[in-house]
Amino acid sequence: MIVALHPTAAVREPALPQLLDSPIVAPVDGARLQRLHALMFAAGMELEPTRMIYDRAYAYERLAAGFGSGSASLRELSIDLFAEFEQSGEFLGLVH
């Protein structure tokens, strides 16, 4: 007869809280980055929305280009997104 020295109980992994709707964590809303992409495309400028998430120098340059455009909606969205990056702790002006 075999007797277990330690009681065996069903061990379950702790459930992780569902914090995000998306597996990608970004300092700004992805839908707004897609909107920026569409506005920049319409203005004849290029933008890689995913790169905006991880490359601060690129994000700063693209938002500056959008702010300097002739489109009022693109300028407004660019300055709003810049503020969102700053509020999230992604200080775009501090690129080394």
94 vs 19, higher pLDDT: 94
- Buried b / exposed e across 19-28, counting CB within 10 Å, b at 16+? eeeeeeebbb
pLDDT at 91: 59
pLDDT tens profile 37-87: 999 999 999 999 889 888 888 999 999 999 999 999 999 999 999 888 888
- Residue 65 contacts residue 59 (beta carbons within 8 Å): no
Question: Token pair for residue 77?
Answer: 């969205």
pLDDT at 20 over 50: no
Q: Which of 51, 48, 59, 50 is nearest to 90 (CA)?
A: 59
Total residues belonging to the chain: 96
pLDDT at residue 15, rounded to an integer: 46
Taking 50 as the threshold, does the pLDDT of residue 19 lie above it? no
- pLDDT of 14 > 50? The answer is no
How far, in Å, CA of 23 to CA of 32, rounded? 17
pLDDT band at 96 (very low <50, low <70, confident <90, very high): very low
> Residue written as tokens 């080394």?
96
68 alpha carbon, distance to own chain's centre: 22
Instruction: Give the per-residue pLDDT at 90.
Output: 61
